[in-house]
Amino acid sequence: MLDYIVVGLGLSGLAISEGLINRKKSFLVFEDNSQSSSYVAGGIFNPVILKRFTPAWNAAEQMETALPFYRNLEQKLRVKLVHEWNIYRRFHSVEEQNDWFIALDKPKLSSFLDPEIQKNTNPNLKAEYSLGKVLKTGNVDTVKLLDNYRDYLNEKGHFENEHFDYSTLELNQGYIQYGDIQAKNIIFCEGFGLKKNPFFNYLPLRGNKGEYIVIHSEELQLDFAVKASVFIMPLGNDLYKVGATYDNKDKTPGVTAGSREKLVKELQKLIRCDFRVVDQVAGIRPAVSDRKPLVGTHPEISNMYCCNGFGSRGVLIAPNMAEALLKNIESDNSLHPEIDLQRFTKKHFKIN
Ligand SMILES: Cc1cc2nc3c(=O)[nH]c(=O)nc-3n(C[C@H](O)[C@H](O)[C@H](O)COP(=O)(O)OP(=O)(O)OC[C@H]3O[C@@H](n4cnc5c(N)ncnc54)[C@H](O)[C@@H]3O)c2cc1C
């Protein structure tokens, strides 16, 4: 009998799998490629919400666990995954520059914001009110991470590239049966795919669609990321990722002409040179009504768990939430009430 079945191999399923390997547990992961959020993510880690200059939820603490987690994986998988670079926040006005100085005095932000305002020297970037430099930021190459991790799990016999069919799951006393597989526990990590999970679809996972375009521009010559109304991230070879959009209504998986137009329009307000759109991607962020993760045990089935709800910040949140859940299951550590999915039981769960 296996210790665990894991459903989904995005950032959540990956962090859960690592936790299980570290604990020497037997497990099998099912992945059906139905969701793309972790694959299309910019993979950016940034502890500051740059719209309002406020700290992102627990981000400084999450960074302390998440960055070593990805660095360990770099060693294990022998690939470069973590790239450190600075984000430059473009100011729209003198008032925004002042807001930056006010934020510098906040203890949770001061170590992440450079006190010196940076003059713009790139003629193709429109930034007349200069730029603020955010420190200790960068990105994780999620495509490389997930592709390599999938191969790694496959080699170890932990991976099934197959849809998990909820209707064939049988619940028995103390274990579950799925086809000819028996397991003591099951952890669901399906991202927005949770909506199709009959055990957990009562949870208020809203979903928020995000799209990026990739542009090619020889003239732009930007060697840092810029956050304005859109985010521009250099990819090398004159390519840049531009995005992302936020859409609460559209839950379809594909790219849209509307988002492409919107991103092109915003980009034209930010740069002066020509560019060509060469690619576009979309994914649905697993966003929750109260913007906190959904972690914990099913209200009625004691060996069934969920690790989800990472919204727009999966890179930093996933390793922390996976560890919190596994410590809860294996060592009986309690979950913090603000992440525990039990906060929604009374309001949303219908007892059978
Ligand atoms: C455009 C965009 C940009 C983003 N940028 C960033 C960023 O820069 N930084 C950041 O931290 N976060 C970013 N995010 C958010 C981040 O992508 C998510 O928080 C994170 O990827 C969620 O991971 P997950 O594993 O919970 O879900 P997912 O990535 O959706 O993974 C769930 C997996 O489960 C699989 N699955 C679902 N149902 C089944 C089933 N029945 N059987 C088998 N497999 C199943 C899916 O195929 C999928 O692989 C971005 C998101 C988008 C859309």
Best residue for ligand 1 mutational test, from 246, 285, 295 (most atoms within 8 Å of Cβ): 285
If you search the block for the tokens 């799998």, which residue do you land on?
17
Name the strand (E) or helix (H) holding 153: helix 142-155
Q: Do 306 and 286 form a contact (C-beta atoms < 8 A)?
A: no
Name the token pair of 286: 């697993």
Average pLDDT over residues 230-243: 95
Sorting pLDDT into bands at 50, 70 and 90, what band is 352? low
Cβ of residue 212 lying under 6 Å from some atom of ligand 1: yes
Q: Is the pTM of this model over 0.85?
A: yes
Which pLDDT does position 49 carry in this prediction?
92
Dump pLDDT digits (tens) for 286-325.
Answer: 999 999 999 999 999 999 999 999 999 999 999 999 999 9
Name the token pair of 274: 């020509």
CATH topology (fold) of 86-136+208-285: D-Amino Acid Oxidase; Chain A, domain 2 (3.30.9)
* Short-list 319, 340, 325, CA closest to 62: 319
> What contacts 121, CB < 8 A, 6 or more positions away?
none
Cβ of residue 319 lying under 6 Å from some atom of ligand 1: no
CA 272/CA 260 separation, integer angstroms: 18
Which pLDDT does position 51 carry in this prediction?
86
Where are the CATH 3.50.50.60 domain residues in the chain? 2-41+143-203+289-348
Q: How far is the CA of 253 from the centre of ligand 1 (A)?
A: 12
CATH topology (fold) of 2-41+143-203+289-348: FAD/NAD(P)-binding domain (3.50.50)
